[in-house]
Amino acid sequence: MTHFGTIKTRAVAIHKTWARDIPGKVIFFVGNSDNRTEVDIPLVVLPVADDVYPPQEKAMLMLKYVYEHYVDCFRWFIRADDDVYINSDNLGALLISISNRDDVLLGHPGIGTTEEKGKLGLEEQSNFCIGGTGIVMSRSVLKKVYPHLDHCIKHTLTAHEDSEVGRCIKKFVGVQCPWGYEASEIFHQDYGDDQQAYHGDLDLIPFEKVVSLHPVKDAGYLFRLHHHFLSIKQRERQNRARKLKKHIKNTEKILAASKTNHSVNFFRNPDSYYCKLEQCGEFHTAEERVHGKNLPPKTWAMFRDLQSFGVQQFSTPVEVIRSSKAKTLKLVTEKAKQNIIQEERPELYHGFYFGEFEVGYTRESPIRGNLYEIHYTVRMKRDIKGRLETLRQLRRVKFKNTFGSLTARVQQDNPKNELINIVLPCQAPINLFENFLKNVRQMLEKFHETLRVFVVYFREVAQSKKFKSIFEMYRKKFGDFRFVWLEVDGKFNRETAVEIILKHFSKNQLLLFTQIDFIISADFLERCRQNTEKGTRLYFPMALKTRDKKNAYQSGRWEFENYSTFCAYSDDVIALKDIHPVRNASSENDLETSSFVDMFITREQRMLEVFRAPDPGLLLLDSSRPPCLPKDKACTDRFDSTKSLFDYIFKKGYLKDFL
C-alpha cells in the first residue's frame, strides 16, 4: 500500500529491489488523486481518496481486490506498506515450514501505546499485527474474512488501520498475531527515530531470520539493505561452493583408493602448521626458506579492548585497532555469542549470562582466509539437587572467513605522464617546507615528472618573507607554470584552501592533496595516476611514518589514521563538496573531524570508491622528536617497530652474553 506522494521514490525502489525476488506477484495500491504520477510498476487505483489518513478503507478495499482477483492463485498473502524491506529468502523459509491449509496470521504483535490501552476495541489478551512490518495471512484467512470486510469498514472503533484489520480478523476468523518473542524478531520494528532506522552498521544487527524491516523512510536505504542481503547471499553461496569442491575432492580420493585397496587419510598434514617457502614471514631468513627448513609455527595476533598484539613488520608490538578492522572484530565477537547460544541452548538453564570478553586471536592465511578464535566467559545458573548454583566456564569459538574467488577486470591505464597538481596548504616549520620543495625538484630533474605545485599560504601562520624567498628560487628555475604561490589572509583553514584551489582548475584535473611533512617518490606518483579513476575512485594511501628517512623501511610504521594525503580529480572533489560541505579541522592533526574524512571516508556520504592501501613510496616524517645523534649520549631513541628494536639490540651487542 502506497500513495502518490512516495510512489516515485519508495514504491519504485521496492519494485527495483526486494519485489523482484518474491516468488509470486507484488502489486502496488493507491487511491484516487488529482495529482497522479505515471510510473512503470504494477499499480491498482482503488475507489477511495489517496490522501486520507489513516487509510482504513484503503486497507479493507485492498484485501477485497486481492480476494476477487488472486485468491485461487496463491497460498499466502502479505499486506505491507511502502516503507518496509522484505527478505524473500527468509520469508520463503518461514512459510514453507507452516501449513497453508490452516488459519494462520503472522506479523509483529502490538497492543498500542500506553495511552491507547483498553481503547482499541480489543478483547482481553488480544492483539493485532502491526501493519508496518507486514501482515502475512494464509488463503483460508482471506477467504473467511472477505465476506465481512464491508461490515468492518462501517464499524471502525479507532483511528488506526492495522488495529482495525486485526480486530476484524480476530472477530470473524478467530486468529490473531502470535505472542511469541520470536515473532517480534522475525518481523523487525525499529522503535527509535524512524528517520534514522537502519542507518548504522548493518553487520552488527542479527538479521539471520529477519523477514521484514520497518520503517525504511529513505528510498536509498532500501537499496542499501538490498545490497547488504545480496552480499550475505553471495558469501553463503561461495562457502557452499567450497564445501562441495571439498566433498568432490574427498570422493575422488575414496574412488581412487578403492581401485588400489589403499586407505585414505583425511587428516591435515602436521607440516601445514609450519611456514613454507613464500608463505613465511619476514622473521625467517631467505636461506631458511630456500632450503625448506622446518620453520617455527605460524603466529597468531591477539586482540582485546581495541588493542592488537602482533609481530608484523612496520608495526608496533601493541597497536590500536582501527575503525574498519574494529568493525570486523566486533562482528566476529557477536557471531561468537550467537554460536555459543545455539550450542548451549540457554532455555535449559535458569539463567545464562555472558561475562567479559576474554581474548581473541586472529591470523591471515593466504589460502584459507582470515582465521579467528574467540574466548568468552559464560555464567549459567542450573538446578542441582533442588538448589540453584552458578557455573562459570570458558567457551571457545573458531571462525574461518574465507576469501572469495578471484575476479579480474580489464582497466585502461591513465596516461603515463598525466599532469599531477600538488596542492600544499603551507604551515610552519620552514625546514619541512624547504625539504618538500627539494623533494619536488628531485622529481622534476631526476625523474622528469610532470608536476605542478600550488602553495596556499596563510599569513597568520608565520611571516611569509622567508617562505616566499625559498619558493621564489624554485619558481625562477622551473617557471610560473610549475610553481604557483597563493597567499590568503587569516589562520590555517582547510575549507578556504579547498575553495581557492578549485577555482584554478579546469575539468578533470588530477589533484594531489598533501602536507609539507610528507616525502613523495616517483613510484608513488605513478600509483597516484593508476589508482585514481575519474568519477569512480579516489586514492587514499597509507604513509610510512618514520623519524629516520634513510632507514624508514627498517624502523618505520604505517600511519593508519592520516587521511591528509590523497589523489582525486577536480570534478569529483567539487561534486562531493557540493553535497557535503567542507568543515575545518580544529587543529592541524585533528584528522578524525577533518573535512577530508567527512567528505571522502565517511561511509554514509560515500559517492565514490575509496582505494586505501599502504604505499611504500610515501613517507611521513615524524617531527615531534628528531632522531638521536651519535654525540648525544643522553639521548634515547624511540623504536617504532619490533624489528627495529631487535636490530638495535643486536647491533649494540646487548645480548652477546646470553647467546
Q: What is the mean pLDDT of residues 44-53?
A: 88
Model confidence at 622, in pLDDT bands (50, 70, 90)? Answer: confident
b/e 477-510 (16+ beta carbons within 10 angstroms → b) = ebeeebbbbbebeeebbbebbbebbbeebeeebb
For helices 494-502 and 570-579, what crossing angle results, to 10°?
A: 130
Model confidence at 292, in pLDDT bands (50, 70, 90)? Answer: very low
Nearest one of 413, 408, 410 to 532, comparing CA atoms: 413
Model confidence at 601, in pLDDT bands (50, 70, 90)? Answer: low
pLDDT score for 483: 93
Q: What is the mean pLDDT of residues 538-542?
A: 89
pLDDT score for 609: 82
Which residue type occupies 67?
Y
Q: Is the pLDDT of residue 579 over 60?
A: no
pLDDT score for 264: 59
d(CA 394, CA 378): 6
pLDDT score for 61: 93
Check residues 423 and 35 and name the one with the higher pLDDT: 423
pLDDT score for 637: 53
User: CB-side exposure of 327: number of CA atoms within 13 Å?
Assistant: 9
User: Among 82-91, 467-476, 588-597, which is the least confidently predicted range?
Assistant: 588-597
- DSSP string over 273-323: GB--GGG--TTS-HHHHHTT--PPBPP-EEEETTEEE---TTS-SEEEPPH
Angstrom CA distances, 177 to 158, 331, 449, 473, stand at: 18, 32, 71, 81
C-alpha cell read off for 451: 608536476
CATH topology (fold) of 420-584+596-621 = Spore Coat Polysaccharide Biosynthesis Protein SpsA; Chain A (3.90.550)
pLDDT score for 29: 95
Check residues 239 and 227 and name the one with the higher pLDDT: 227
Q: Do domains 9-223 and 420-584+596-621 have the same CATH topology?
A: yes
Q: What is the mean pLDDT of residues 356-382?
A: 80
Q: Is the pLDDT of residue 415 over 70?
A: no
Model confidence at 521, in pLDDT bands (50, 70, 90)? Answer: very high
The neighbour count for residue 178, using CB atoms within 10 Å, is 19
Model confidence at 14, in pLDDT bands (50, 70, 90)? Answer: very high
Cβ–Cβ under 8 Å, residues 510 and 479: no
C-alpha cell read off for 88: 524473500
The neighbour count for residue 12, using CB atoms within 10 Å, is 20
In the beta sheet, which residues pair with residue 351? 381
Q: Is the pLDDT of residue 281 over 50?
A: no
500-512 pLDDT, tens digit per residue, is 888 888 778 999 9
Question: Cα 571 to the chain's mean position, in Å?
Answer: 26
Q: What is the mean pLDDT of residues 90-115?
A: 89
Nearest one of 604, 588, 598 to 492, comparing CA atoms: 588
Q: What is the largest CA-CA distance in the chain?
A: 99
Angstrom CA distances, 315 to 303, 325, 345, 547, stand at: 14, 15, 41, 14
Q: Residue 495: helix, strand or coil by DSSP?
A: helix
Which residue type occupies 486?
L
d(CA 518, CA 198): 39
Angstrom CA distances, 457 to 374, 427, 439, stand at: 51, 7, 19
C-alpha cell read off for 352: 545464562
Q: Is the pLDDT of residue 71 over 70?
A: yes
d(CA 526, CA 415): 10
Q: Residue 17: helix, strand or coil by DSSP?
A: coil
Q: Is the pLDDT of residue 493 over 80?
A: no
Q: Is the pLDDT of residue 139 over 90?
A: yes
Indicate the average pLDDT of the chain. Answer: 80
Report whether CATH 3.90.550.50 matches the domain 9-223.
Answer: yes
Q: Is the pLDDT of residue 554 over 80?
A: no
Question: Cα 38 to the chain's mean position, in Å?
Answer: 36
Cβ–Cβ under 8 Å, residues 396 and 374: yes
d(CA 328, CA 136): 35
C-alpha cell read off for 105: 496470521
Radius of gyration of the chain (CA): 32
Q: Is the pLDDT of residue 336 over 50?
A: yes
pLDDT score for 582: 46
Instruction: Select the highest-mean-pLDDT range: 62-66, 150-154, 399-403, 466-470.
Output: 62-66
Q: What is the mean pLDDT of residues 55-76?
A: 93
Model confidence at 442, in pLDDT bands (50, 70, 90)? Answer: very high
Asked whether the whole model's pTM tops 0.75, one would answer no
User: Among 54-63, 110-119, 410-419, which is the least confidently predicted range?
Assistant: 410-419
Helix (H) or strand (E) holding 31: strand 28-32
d(CA 457, CA 291): 58
Sequence ranges of the domains in the chain: 9-223, 318-401, 420-584+596-621
d(CA 507, CA 510): 9
Q: Is the pLDDT of residue 600 over 60?
A: no
Check residues 388 and 230 and name the one with the higher pLDDT: 230
Q: Is the pLDDT of residue 271 over 50?
A: no
d(CA 478, CA 133): 67
Q: Is 468 left (phi over 0), alpha (psi -120 to 50) or beta?
A: alpha
Contacts of residue 315, Cβ cutoff 8 Å, sequence gap at least 6: 557, 558, 641, 642
CA atoms 441, 443, 445, 450: torsion sign: negative
In the beta sheet, which residues pair with residue 362? 301, 372
CATH class of 318-401: mainly beta
Q: Is the pLDDT of residue 605 over 50?
A: no
pLDDT score for 436: 92
Q: What is the mean pLDDT of residues 610-619?
A: 88
Q: Is the pLDDT of residue 153 over 80?
A: yes
Q: Is the pLDDT of residue 125 over 60?
A: yes
Which residue type occupies 119?
K
Check residues 385 and 237 and name the one with the higher pLDDT: 237
